[in-house]
Structure 1
Amino acid sequence: MNYVEVDLKVDSEFSEILMAELGEAGFESFVETDEGLLAYIPEGDFDENNLNEITAKYQDLTTIAATWKSLERRNWNEEWEKSYEPIEVGDQIRVRATFHEPDPAFQYDLLIQPKMSFGTGHHETTWLVMNEQLSLPHEGLSVMDVGCGTGILAILASKLGAANLLGFDIDEWAVENTRENFAMNNLSATADVFQGTITGVPAGRIFGGILANINRNILLSEIPKYVAHLSPGGWLVTSGFYETDQADIEQCAEESGLKKLRSNTRNQWATVVFEKL
């Protein structure tokens, strides 16, 4: 699979809103530059007209120049590695690539091989979920990572004490990358990942915690399925949607037998934590 890189020349104050708009349109990863923003999307999902419609909304407020090009896989990884910077969540979590030196000031040091998969830590929702994980019980639990991307959330779950991990994603690159990242972080044989969806999880497999950083439509469709795999008193972290969609997510969760524990937002993106009654 090839990807498209869109280079947006725009004032920095508009970068966040454009990331939100482009994220809704299917763009998976972003890199802020001195001149604006780089945005990445699978080639098959790229729609030039849609891109033009998004940028046109802001042309009266600022000047936006957009160019794009197709990246082959080998160039994709090379470009991403050049741009990747460590991610810090509060003063406890640091996500870094192998070419960055560790920082002993952080309690949780997560290593990833940065490829163009959603979930490198740069997206607001990944940050939100990791921040919530810090205050959730993990010790001895089985944890499932839905749409695992790079596996970063599962890796943090392991460092927080999870005993068993299961991740899955529909993208073969994401699965490959997750396996690499599991190995780099010395996750045990109790950590597994497969290519597929929630339907591939055995019916009798139950988890004490589930991480679901996906998107609004998938969550509304699949939350009842997650609940079927969640033990009583277990937690579910949902993210990947805007603040404006939060009420719909909460209603679906409540109708599925979940109780809201708390929520948080960051630059118009939201996360909600639930508990199974």
Structure 2
Amino acid sequence: MTPVYIGYFFKVEPLQPASDILIAELGELGFDSFVETEEGIEAYIIKDQHQEALVKEVSILENENFKISYTIQEFEQVNWNEEWEKNFSPILVDDVCQVRAPFHPKKETEYDIVIEPKMSFGTGHHATTHMMIQHILKDDMREKSVLDMGCGTGVLAILASMKGATPVEAIDIDNWCYLNTLENVERNNCSTIKVEEGEASLLPGRSYDIIIANINRNILLNDLPVYTDCLTENGEIYLSGFYEEDLPIITEKCESLGLKLDNHLVRENWVAVKFVK
């Protein structure tokens, strides 16, 4: 029997960070597919799991800092690929790295990454992913062991592998991200990448020259001691997923663990920062 879906079409002003927060809150209610649009997001849930009363109680809808409206539509079937294909355009980072879908034409760039993001975070369109790509492009990854923590689509692990990193590990707590990363790793012929489903509890006893963690402030603050223990001497760690105003508290935590601030990037009030052990 073909499942029936309920689709919510949100208009969001300003788009960020409201769209990210809205996706997170709807995910907790059982919404399992999201499409980012120029006006906001589309969110889908199987009709049998839909409770409109709970959606109305989502906290960000009452937040005075954002203007959010929506319409609802019922679907017999949803073609997820078609939905995100309508809104996913290729990106070019520093004229060196292209991130595109299989149906986009290939450009002559040094690094060409092909992904199908589906529900996973990390297409390069979000400011944090874009800046993390910029950091990786600047760094020498040859023969270095790399961890991509909270890998999403796997795009950062894939780029590290393309730059000569080996071995590379990609970990995400979300099953969909884990499966999507497996697909994208195979799609880009990155055989040196090991993909795992899990969290920081997997890490004790491991060692990395470079750690990439694009997650969020609270998880970073909680897990930074584990990351630091896994870093080799003079190892590098890239952190993102938080705002510019959060940089002091992240820096304070890192310095207390013996990490030294190297540099940081800012894009749309998001930050991507590099520390060295």
TM normalised by structure 1 equals: 0.84
- Contact 1:144 1:209 survives alignment (8 Å): yes
* 1:69 to partner: Cα distance: 6.0
Structure 1 Cα separation of the partners of residues 197 and 89 of structure 2: 28
2:34 corresponds to 1:32: no
Deviation at 1:48, TM superposition (A): 3.4
Quote the residue 2:230 is aligned against. Answer: 229
Partner of 1:94: 98
The corresponding residue for 2:31 is none
CA shift, 1:38, in A, is 2.0
Contact 1:118–1:150 (CA under 8 A) maintained in structure 2: yes
Q: Give 2:82's match in structure 1, choosing from 68, 78, 82.
A: 78
One-letter identity of the residue aligned with 2:268: N
Matches within 5 A, 1:232-247: 232-247=233-248
Query: Please, which runs of 5 or more residues in structure 1 have no aligned partner?
Result: none
CA shift for structure 1 position 130:
0.6
Number of residue pairs matched by the alignment: 259
Q: Equivalent residue of 1:19, what SS? A: coil
> SS of the counterpart of 1:139?
coil
Structure 1 match to 2:19: 22
Shift of residue 66 of structure 1?
2.3
Shift of 1:204: 2.8
Cα distance in 2 between the residues matched to 1:159 and 1:269: 26
Render the CA deviation track for 1:16-50: whole Å, top value 9, x for unaligned. x33213324554976333xx222559899x85332
Contact 1:77 1:115 in 2 (8 A): yes
CA distance in 2, matches of 1:156, 1:226: 21
Does structure 2 retain, via aligned residues, the 8 Å contact 1:6–1:67? yes
The corresponding residue for 1:123 is 126
Displacement after TM superposition at 1:76 (Å): 3.5
Q: Which amino acid aligns with 2:119?
A: M
**Partner Cα distance (2:223, 2:139) in 1:** 22
Q: Decide whether the 8 Å contact of 1:26 with 1:41 is kept in 2.
A: no
The offset of 1:270, in angstroms, is 0.9
Deviates more, 1:87-96 or 1:17-26: 17-26
Change (3 A) 1:221 1:81: same
- Amino acid of the structure 2 residue aligned with 1:53: E
The answer to whether the Cα contact below 8 Å between 2:9 and 2:43 also exists between their aligned partners in 1 is no
Q: C-alpha root-mean-square deviation of aligned residues, in Å? A: 2.8
3-state SS of paired residue (1:83): coil
Q: Work out the CA distance in 2 between the residues paired with 1:254 and 1:88.
A: 33
Q: Is the 8 A contact 2:147 2:169 kept in 1?
A: yes
What is the match of residue 193 of structure 1? 195
- TM-score normalised to structure 2 length: 0.84
Runs of 5+ in structure 2 lacking a partner? 28-33
